[in-house]
Amino acid sequence: MKNIFTIVFLLIAGCLCAQDDLMKELEQNQKPEINYVTQTFKGTRIINGQSVETKGKGELEFIFSHRFDKISTGPYQVWGLDGYPAVRLGLEYGITDRLGVGIGRNFYYNNKMEDLYLRYKIARQSTGAKSFPVTITGIGTMMYQPYPNATDAANNSVPLPSTSDRLSYVAELLIARKFSSKFSAQIAPTFVHRNAVDKSLENNDDIAIAFGGRFKFTRSLSLIGEYYSRMNVHANSPYYNSVGAGLDIETGGHVFQLIFTNSLGLNPNTIVTQTDTKPGDLRFGFNITRTFQLAKRK
Amino acid sequence: MEISYVFKNNYSLMKKILLIAVGIAVAFLTQAQKFTSDKTYVKFFSDASIEDITAENTKSSSIFNEATGDVVFSIPIKEFEFDKSLMKEHFNEKYMETEQFPKSTFQGKISGYQPSGTGEQKATAIGKMTIHGVTQDVQIPGTMTNANGVLTMKAKFMVKLVDYKIKIPQLLWTNIAEEVEVTVEFNYKPL
């Protein structure tokens, strides 16, 4: 009699937990998968410099970066809004989810520069079946300085630079980790080579290490910060390390970044080599990006 | 000789063996009537003023026990594919918080389905649906078809985002409907 009760009890218990057991069975049948970490940063720029992010395949991003004059110019200049701005207009396209290409036109008064870069995500941070602690992206940039052209050179009686003298190159290795859904950090060794420099003030080759981070405090708002530490500063260098902090606002296809920085640099060359104001002497600026999906994913 | 002696003199051992035998029989019985998902398709469609959004997922899994009607579904959220990369990112990062809640599940029973029946049958799945970490009791009407041992389950239903605490950021509200239409189609083969 007693064992019949036991059997009945077991059968009832079996029915009650059948769905949980079924769920366990389902989970056991599933193959272990790799979970790649996404959105380490919201955009392809942290402040002035690049982030590890790449555009998705077939995505075209338009980036409009604008830096006003120094806040220290005071109320007559509306704290820099009236002064000469530094502007970069750029486009970046995702050839694959990991490979991107970008172009940009930078101008600040007479300082004009064109940049062209390739960006490749070498490794992706992941958990699960394959675990990797960081995302690594390599970026190679080539820059061309169109100023001065023949007319400018004649008017200002300066020698006309050769094509080679107008070129500079930057190699960056960006290493970032998304520590949590809120906090991400990045470190980026940066190497800059310029073919022609004023050797009394500048190096042909500069090395800097960039530090960047973001703290996401709501789903659409993040605090962002960035600092470039130059490793081999020329003894007579009139330039400073670039620093920046700001607010990152993400809406549908846009990312707005409101920024305070001492740098006019909007490409890795000028950030490292031509930041001409002290870290405390800031300017206001913004980056606006708009993403278009040109090719469908499927 | 020795074994029967043991049985005669050890009532509790016999009881245990009997229990194990019944247990194994029950296990075999239910095993034979289980179906596992072969091809899966989950789609959701959000109809909004500015932009219609569609996403499809073919990486789900399910087990259905024909004898008891018990059924479970597991849908990996990051496998929803969109037309635009950015939509997928926002879906995972902002709405579904996929890192925290990687899967949506359903655990319940299917009623109204006769294993012996033929053709398309009306059936209802009754149970608990978990989306975005929030569990709700639901009843989902659908159809079941059993053709030559291949079982097909189909359903179309609405999911209210507010029921599962899926928040739409203020800046974005015009982009996303407050209710999305979910279509599921699962093909099963015997396990």
Q: Are A148 and A165 in contact (CB under 8 A)?
A: no
At A264-283, the pLDDT tens digits run 989 999 999 999 899 989 99
A114 by Cβ neighbours in 10 Å (0-12 / 13-18 / 19+) ranks as: middle
At A171-211, the pLDDT tens digits run 999 999 999 989 999 999 999 999 999 999 999 999 999 99
Contacts of A29 in chain B (CB under 8 A): 36, 61, 63
> Which residues make Cβ contacts (< 8 Å) with residue A167, sequence separation at least 6?
A142, A143, A144, A145, A195
Q: Taking residues A138-149, what's their average pLDDT? A: 94
Q: Which residues, numbered 47 to 76 in chain A, qualify as contacts with chain B under a Cβ-Cβ cut-off of 8 Å?
A: 55-59
Q: How far away is chain B from the Cα of A183, in angstroms, using its nearest Cα? A: 14
| Of the partner residues B62, B85, B102, the one whose CB lies closest to the CB of residue A56 | B85
Instruction: Give which of B14, B20, B99 to mutate to test A binding, by max A Cβ within 10 Å.
Output: B99
Q: Do A291 and B175 touch (CB under 8 A)?
A: no
| Of the partner residues A19, A25, A39, the one whose CB lies closest to the CB of residue B93 | A39
| A96 touches B at CB < 8 Å | no
CA-angle at B60, arms to B57 and B64, nearest 5°: 140
**Nearest-10 crossing angle of helices A2-16, A18-29:** 60
Six token digits for residue A111: 């300082």
Q: Are B159 and B182 in contact (CB under 8 A)?
A: yes
How would residue B72 be classed by pLDDT, with cut points 50, 70 and 90?
Answer: very high
B34 vs B115: CA distance, rounded Å:
12
Instruction: Give which of B61, B86, B166, B168 to mutate to test A binding, by max A Cβ within 10 Å.
Output: B86
B1 by Cβ neighbours in 10 Å (0-12 / 13-18 / 19+) ranks as: exposed
φ, ψ dihedrals at A250, nearest 5°? -110, 130
Q: Do A19 and B108 touch (CB under 8 A)?
A: yes
Mean pLDDT of chain A: 90
| Of the partner residues B62, B70, B92, the one whose CB lies closest to the CB of residue A18 | B70
- Give the model's pLDDT for residue B115: 84
Q: Does residue B173 surpass a pLDDT of 90?
A: no
Query: With a cut of 0.85, is the ipTM above it?
Result: no
3-state secondary structure of B161: helix
Token match 């101008």: residue?
A107
CA A127 to chain centre: 23
